[in-house]
Amino acid sequence: MSQHTITLIPGDGIGPEVTDATVRIVETAAKQHGTTFSWERHDAGADAFAKTGEYIPKALYDSVSTTKVALKGPVTTPIGSGFKSINVTLRKQFDLYANFRPIKNLPGLKTKYPDVDLIIVRENTEGLYVGLEQEIVPGVCTSLKVTTEKGSTRIAKFAFEYAAKHGRKKVHSIHKANIMKLTDGLFLKCAQAVAKDHPEIQYAEHIVDNACMQLVTNPYQYDVMVMENLYGDILSDLCSGFVGGLGLVPGANLGEHAAIFEAVHGSAPDIAGQDKANPTALLQSAVLMLRHLDETATADSIQGAIDAVYAEGKTLTRDVGGTSGTSAFADAIVAAL
C-alpha cells in the first residue's frame, strides 16, 4: 500500500465545492487500488487574506516545501491593484517552470472541433510575467520582458522530452521574433538547439498571431506547442475552447522540486455555494497529479469514469448542457468507478 501527503488549496468562490468533490473521487478510486491520501488543507487568495491578512500564508509555503505536491482550486486575485497573481507567485516561489496543459475532447460532448488532441507547454517563470513594471513619469509605464538561455532551453527540453516519451510527432515553437528579435530570438535559438538532439521529432515555428489563425482554422496540424509565458497564457485558453472551455481542461505546473496541479478557470463567486459548479477541470488536474505520483492505475480508473459519465450524458452540469449539480456529478463519477 502506498501513501501520499498532498497540500490541498481549495481556493475561494466555487473552489471549496469542486475541491471537495475531487477529493472524494480521488479517495474512492485510490482505496480501490490500495493507495491512501492525507491532505494538508490551506487557504490562499481572498479567503486567506480575510482570515490572516496574507494572500499566501507562510504555512502554505511550508506545506508545499514539505509535500512537494499540491492540488489547487481557483483563487481570487485583485485586478489592477493589490497583491500580484496568486498563481504567478506560487510558480515563481517554487520555480515551477513548466506549465503543462493537455487539450483533448471528452467523449459524448459535441463541439465544433471533434477529436482535438494537442499539448500546450508554456514557460512559466519568465517573460512579461516577471512583474517588473514601473511608472517612468506620470502617464508613462513600462513592463520589462525577461528571456534567458537557461529558461528557454529547459522549457524546450521539457517539450521535446515529453513528445519523445509519449509518441508525439511534432513540436511547434510559437514566437514573435520578427518584432522582438532579441527576447523571442533567443527563445527560438534555444528551441532550435534542443530540436537537433531529437531528429525523430518534426520541428516547426509559427509567429504567434499566425498561430492563432492557424489554430481556429485547423487545430489538427498541431501536436505539441511550446512558447513563452504570455503567449502560453493566451493560447492555452484559446485552445480550451476547442473542447468545451476552461471548466474541462486540466493544468499542471511542474518544477524540479515541486508540482502544483490546478483548475485554471475562475472562482465564479456568482454561483458559489449553489451546487452548480463543474469539477471536471480540477478532477482531470488530479488525474495529472496521480500520473506524476506514478499512481497510474488510480489515474486510469478516474479518467475512465469521467469518460463514461460524459459518454452517457445523463448526469452532466449545466455548463455542458446538463441539469445536474456538483454533488450529483461527483456521485455519478463515484458510481462509475
Dist. CA 40–CA 235, nearest whole Å? 33
Verify that 269 and 202 share a domain, yes or no.
no
pLDDT at 62 over 60: yes
Is 123 within a domain?
no
Alpha helix stretches (DSSP H) within 196-325: 208-217, 229-240, 280-292, 296-312
291 is a domain residue: yes
Q: Give residue-wise pLDDT tens across range 165-217.
A: 999 999 999 999 999 999 999 999 999 999 999 999 999 999 999 999 999 99
- The answer to whether 324 touches 316, Cβ cutoff 8 Å, is yes
In this prediction, residue 51 has a pLDDT band, given cuts at 50, 70 and 90, of: confident
Among 22-26, 107-111, 146-150, 168-172, the range scoring the smallest mean pLDDT is 107-111
Q: Same domain for 94 and 63?
A: yes
Q: For the chain, give the mean pLDDT.
A: 95
Question: Which domain, by its residues, includes 134?
Answer: 128-241
- How far is it, in rounded angstroms, from Cα 105 to Cα 111? 8
Asked if residue 185 lies in contact with residue 165, where contact means CB atoms within 8 angstroms, the answer is no
Is residue 75 over pLDDT 90? no
Question: What is residue 1's predicted lDDT score, i.e. its pLDDT?
Answer: 75
pLDDT at 262 over 70: yes
Q: In what order do the strands lie in the sheet with 202-207?
A: 35-41, 2-9, 69-72, 259-263, 250-254, 98-104, 117-123, 224-227, 170-175, 202-207
What confidence score (pLDDT) does residue 46 get?
A: 74
188 and 258 co-located in one domain: no
Q: How far apart are CA 266 and CA 120, in angstroms?
A: 19
d(CA 197, CA 199): 6
- The pLDDT of 214-239, averaged and rounded, is 97
CA gap 95, 255 in Å, rounded: 6
Closest C-alpha among 41, 29, 38, 43 to residue 5: 38
Beta carbons of 278 and 19 less than 8 angstroms apart = no
Annotated catalytic residues are 129, 176, 209, 233, 237
Q: What gap in Å lies between CA 282 and CA 308, rounded to an integer? A: 17
| 210 and 226 together in one domain | yes
Looking at the domain assignment, is residue 323 inside a domain? yes
What is the pTM (predicted TM-score) of this model? Answer: 0.94
Q: What is the pLDDT of residue 144?
A: 96
